[in-house]
Homo-oligomer: A and B are copies of this chain.
Amino acid sequence: MAKVKKQPRPKAVTPKGFRDYFGAEVTQRTEMLQTIAGVYHRYGFDALESSAVETVEALGKFLPDVDRPNEGVFAWQEADEDGKGDWMALRYDLTAPLARVYAQHRNDLPTPYRRYAMGPVWRNEKPGPGRYRQFYQCDADTVGTASMAADAEICAMLADTLEAVGIPRGDYLVRVNNRKVLNGVLETMGLADEGQRDAVLRTIDKFDKVGEEGVRQLLGKGRLDASGAYIDGVGLSDEQAAPVLAFLTSKAADTAATLANLRAAVGDSKIGAEGIAELEQIGTLLAAGGYGPDRIEIDPSVVRGLGYYTGPVFEAELTFEILDEKGRKRQFGSVAGGGRYDGLVKRFTGQEVPAVGVSIGVDRLLAALREKGRLASESTGPVVVTVMDRDRMADYQAMVTELRAAGIRAEVYLGNPKNFGNQLKYADKRHSPVAVIEGGDEKERGVVQIKDLILGAKIAESATLEEWKERPSQFEVPRADLVAKVREILDSQD
Asked if B15 contacts A53 (CB within 8 A), the reply is yes
A50 within 8 A of B: yes
A145-B9 contact, Cβ under 8 Å, with A111-B426, A288-B395? no
By a CB distance below 8 angstroms, the chain B residues around A46 are 22-23, 379
By a CB distance below 8 angstroms, the chain B residues around A202 are none
A407 within 8 A of B: yes
Asked if B394 contacts A285 (CB within 8 A), the reply is yes
Asked if A104 contacts B47 (CB within 8 A), the reply is no
Query: What is the minimal beta-carbon distance from A280 to any residue of chain B, in angstroms?
Result: 12
A52-B134 contact, Cβ under 8 Å, with A9-B348, A394-B288? yes
Q: Which residue of B lies closest to A119 (CB)?
A: B120
Q: Encode A376-403 as 1/0 by CB contact (under 8 A) with B.
A: 0001011010000000011101100100
Which of A148-156, A206-214, A292-300, A449-457 makes up part of the contact surface?
A148-156
Interface residue range, chain A: 35 or more
Query: What is the minimal beta-carbon distance from A130 to any residue of chain B, in angstroms?
Result: 15
Asked if B34 contacts A349 (CB within 8 A), the reply is no
Asked if A284 contacts B411 (CB within 8 A), the reply is no
A110 within 8 A of B: yes
By a CB distance below 8 angstroms, the chain B residues around A51 are 14-15, 18-20, 120, 134
Cα–Cα, bound, A60→B410 (Å):
34
A404 within 8 A of B: yes
Query: What is the minimal beta-carbon distance from A485 to any residue of chain B, in angstroms?
Result: 19
A196 within 8 A of B: no
Q: Which of A243-282 contact B (CB under 8 A)?
A: none
Q: Which of A117-135 contact B (CB under 8 A)?
A: 120, 122, 133-134
By a CB distance below 8 angstroms, the chain B residues around A114 are 411
Asked if B393 contacts A285 (CB within 8 A), the reply is yes
Query: What is the minimal beta-carbon distance from A104 to any residue of chain B, in angstroms?
Result: 4
Q: Which residue of B lies closest to A384 (CB)?
A: B44
Asked if B34 contacts A20 (CB within 8 A), the reply is no
By a CB distance below 8 angstroms, the chain B residues around A44 are 381-382, 384, 409-411, 430
Query: What is the minimal beta-carbon distance from A71 to any residue of chain B, in angstroms?
Result: 9
Q: Which of A18-58 contact B (CB under 8 A)?
A: 18-23, 25-27, 30, 34, 37, 41-44, 46-55, 57-58
Asked if A34 contacts B42 (CB within 8 A), the reply is no
Asked if B42 contacts A142 (CB within 8 A), the reply is no
By a CB distance below 8 angstroms, the chain B residues around A414 are 112, 142, 145, 147, 149-150, 153
Asked if B58 contacts A10 (CB within 8 A), the reply is yes
Q: Which of A122-177 contact B (CB under 8 A)?
A: 122, 133-134, 142, 144-145, 147, 149-150, 152-153, 156, 160
A13 within 8 A of B: yes
A489 within 8 A of B: no
A63 within 8 A of B: no
Task: Tell me which of B42, B53, B430 contacts A18 (CB under 8 A).
Answer: B53
A412 within 8 A of B: yes
By a CB distance below 8 angstroms, the chain B residues around A156 are 401
By a CB distance below 8 angstroms, the chain B residues around A350 are 9
Q: Which of A79-132 contact B (CB under 8 A)?
A: 86, 88, 90, 99-101, 103-105, 110-112, 114, 120, 122
Cα–Cα, bound, A197→B349 (Å):
58
A9-B147 contact, Cβ under 8 Å, with A105-B20, A153-B412, A410-B44? no
Q: Which residue of B lies closest to A117 (CB)?
A: B26
Cα–Cα, bound, A19→B100 (Å):
12
A415-B111 contact, Cβ under 8 Å, with A103-B12, A153-B397, A393-B285? yes
Cα–Cα, bound, A60→B11 (Å):
11
A372 within 8 A of B: no
Cα–Cα, bound, A430→B46 (Å):
9
Task: Tell me which of B47, B134, B150 contacts A27 (CB under 8 A).
Answer: B47
CB pairs A–B below 8 angstroms (26 shown): A9-B349, A10-B57, A11-B55, A11-B58, A12-B100, A14-B54, A15-B88, A18-B53, A21-B49, A23-B46, A26-B49, A42-B409, A42-B410, A44-B384, A44-B411, A44-B430, A52-B90, A52-B122, A112-B414, A149-B397, A150-B414, A153-B411, A287-B394, A288-B394, A289-B394, A289-B398
| Other 5 A-B pairs with CB < 8 A, given A21-B49, A22-B46 | A23-B47, A42-B404, A44-B384, A74-B76, A285-B394
Query: Which are the 10 A-B pairs with shortest beta-carbon distances?
Result: A44-B411, A288-B394, A12-B103, A76-B76, A26-B47, A44-B382, A18-B51, A12-B104, A12-B348, A145-B414
